[in-house]
């Protein structure tokens, strides 16, 4: 009996770990353990400011991926969206952080605004419109991020 219980616990745990990557909606499973955020000597914000933004990027890549970045990361680093500023690899678990966002006020501002709007229930296309209205006019650079399809929330 004891062997059966241990075997059941091992199979159950293995199954939970195997599906912890993404839900069907594209969100990263909230039970997935995320690595510590990157620490760099050039970080411009505290870990208390950055941790929620890195977590948002990891848990909601389908939203942040549709936001452009307005620093020079598109031309210098090959970034396609604000997601690339936070995550180097988004192919599933485990997350691989990109330290670039911790060193860039533009990356942080776009992610912060996108997170606040998302948490207020604003649709991705409207978040993108507001991000563009706030940052595009004065920006010298921007990533070539495709516009999101209209969605129903």
CA 130 to chain centre: 18
What is the average per-residue pLDDT within 90-102? 80
Q: What is the pLDDT of residue 112?
A: 97
Residues 42-86: pLDDT tens digits?
Answer: 788 888 999 999 999 999 999 999 999 988 887 788 899 999 999
Alpha carbon distance 97, 29 (integer Å): 17
Q: What is the pLDDT of residue 61?
A: 93
Residues 132-143: pLDDT tens digits?
Answer: 999 998 889 988
Q: What is the pLDDT of residue 22?
A: 39
- Strands 87-89 and 96-97, bridge-based pairing: antiparallel
Q: What is the pLDDT of residue 153?
A: 53
* CA atoms in the 13 A half-sphere facing the CB of 140: 4
Q: What is the pLDDT of residue 133?
A: 95
Domain limits, the chain = 2-135
| C-alpha torsion 56→134→129→37, nearest 10 | -10
Alpha carbon distance 39, 63 (integer Å): 24
DSSP state string for 83-111: HHHHEEE-SSSSPEE-GGGGG-HHHHHHH
Q: Tell me what the pLDDT averaged over the chain comes to.
A: 77
What is the average per-residue pLDDT within 89-104? 80
The secondary element (H helix, E strand) that includes residue 152 is: none
Lowest mean pLDDT among 2-6, 26-30, 85-89, 104-108: 2-6
Q: What is the pLDDT of residue 36?
A: 80
Q: What is the pLDDT of residue 6?
A: 33
The secondary element (H helix, E strand) that includes residue 65 is: none
């Amino acid at each position: 009996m004891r062997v059966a219980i241990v075997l059941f616990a091992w199979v159950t745990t293995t199954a939970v770990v195997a599906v912890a990557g993404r839900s069907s909606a594209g969100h990263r499973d909230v039970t997935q353990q995320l690595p510590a955020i990157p620490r760099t000597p050039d970080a411009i914000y505290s870990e208390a400011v950055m941790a929620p933004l890195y977590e948002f990027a990891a848990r909601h890549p389908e939203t942040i991926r549709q936001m452009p970045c307005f620093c020079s990361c598109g031309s210098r680093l090959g970034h396609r969206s604000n997601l690339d500023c936070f995550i180097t690899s988004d192919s599933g678990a485990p997350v691989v952080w990109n330290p670039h966002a911790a060193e860039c006020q533009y990356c942080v501002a776009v992610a912060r605004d996108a997170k606040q709007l998302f948490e207020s229930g604003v649709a991705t296309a409207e978040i993108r419109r507001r991000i563009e209205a706030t940052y595009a006019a004065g920006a010298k650079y921007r990533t070539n991020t495709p516009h999101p399809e209209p969605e129903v929330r």
